[in-house]
Structure 1
């Protein structure tokens, strides 16, 4: 049993000690076998990692200018809390980008830990410089006004092929993004930490020349 004093401590520990692949293995073992986002959801800069509570956002394409086109997205960003990760479902739209540097600046000021979007982003040079963890399917400079609008937030969404509910844990690194359902987090995190420990021991055995079969039989991880 692993006890954390706060979400911040838990997420910092996960960031420092875990990685997406091992978390994916653990949620798989618990029967949640569709928690890895599609492989096109990628970090936009080298070394980006994100871990925090999902704050889902749903968008829809539009084909005319609407009143206050940025208003709902502004409201969503202003609703973020410390340790949140915005998870934006654009339904894989390529008409416009969803995210840029000013939104990232506002989100960081609210204490958010990053964003995952199944669409495109822009201002990548600035976002990279500020190291705001950002995962997306691509980069595109075109503005959203008259092309897309936020229609709901803090609601369940399908992002990257995974159902994401408010409060689920989002973990992303170079291997991709995995979603830990909130109801499984107390099982997943200690099991993932245990698996990393066993993998480290198995790796040491392999470096000493132990056969893979013998090391696997001893530690039961791969």
Structure 2
């Protein structure tokens, strides 16, 4: 089962709470470059670490990583809390969009904001800086568990990123959590209809058990 298009990050978070996982929401400092961005899909992870020099081919590892993206994936970038440089920009966005990626979540900075927005590619990050990671950071691992925004995300975990924030669902709980979230979304739609028709909060809570 997959998440219904109407399912929100809040509904996924509530469903994770119901499943006993209460720490799956990433740091609130990681935000979309523009309001209304949304990315949902299995995580494809990359880990960076500091370096003091640039080799003859400083982008080889990211080229290989991006060229291996599969349609629907959400790229998850972990900087190891090294927020000096940007890790994502216009050309990486164009390549990822061309590969069918759903979006990118980065626990540090991006750049080329205006150009990325023109591409209509969802990017979630802590903000923008013009500094390239070349000769500052290097890829040390791909497709391994990473710590991003305070949450450990493994390849294949389902990432739901939108205006409210970013939630990660462990792959082995995808079926359970998506079923709960889809059901919650349907209930909340009924709750909204009843409230707008004049029902009291007590009435809808007793009827649906959802608020």
TM-score range normalised by the length of the shorter chain: over 0.9
Residue 167 (structure 1) shift: 0.5
Residue 111 (structure 1) shift: 1.5
* Separation (CA, whole Å) in 1 of partners of 2:29 and 2:206: 35
Deviations 1:176-204 (A, max 9, x none): 10001110111111211110111111112
* Separation (CA, whole Å) in 1 of partners of 2:201 and 2:167: 27
Matched, 1:54 2:22: no
Matched, 1:19 2:8: yes
Residue 32 (structure 1) shift: 1.3
Q: May I ask how many residue pairs the two structures share in their alignment?
A: 211
Matched, 1:177 2:136: no
Q: Secondary structure at the match of 2:87?
A: strand
Matched, 1:165 2:151: no
Deviations 1:54-82 (A, max 9, x none): 00100012233334221111111112111
* Separation (CA, whole Å) in 1 of partners of 2:168 and 2:31: 14
Q: Match for residue 5 of structure 1? A: none
* Separation (CA, whole Å) in 2 of partners of 1:44 and 1:93: 20
Matched, 1:151 2:140: yes
The equivalent position to 2:178 in structure 1, one of 173, 189, 196, is 189
Q: Match for residue 131 of structure 1? A: 120
| Aligned positions of 1:84-95 closer than 5 A | 84-95=73-84
* Separation (CA, whole Å) in 1 of partners of 2:65 and 2:54: 20
The equivalent position to 1:111 in structure 2, one of 88, 100, 104, is 100
* Separation (CA, whole Å) in 1 of partners of 2:76 and 2:150: 12
Residue 117 (structure 1) shift: 0.5
The equivalent position to 1:40 in structure 2, one of 29, 42, 46, is 29
Residue 130 (structure 1) shift: 1.0
* Separation (CA, whole Å) in 1 of partners of 2:101 and 2:189: 31
Q: Extract unaligned runs of 5+ from structure 1.
A: 3-9
* Separation (CA, whole Å) in 1 of partners of 2:22 and 2:123: 24
Q: Please tell me the root mean square deviation across aligned C-alpha atoms, in Å.
A: 1.2
* Separation (CA, whole Å) in 1 of partners of 2:34 and 2:82: 21
Worse overlay, 70-79 or 145-154: 70-79
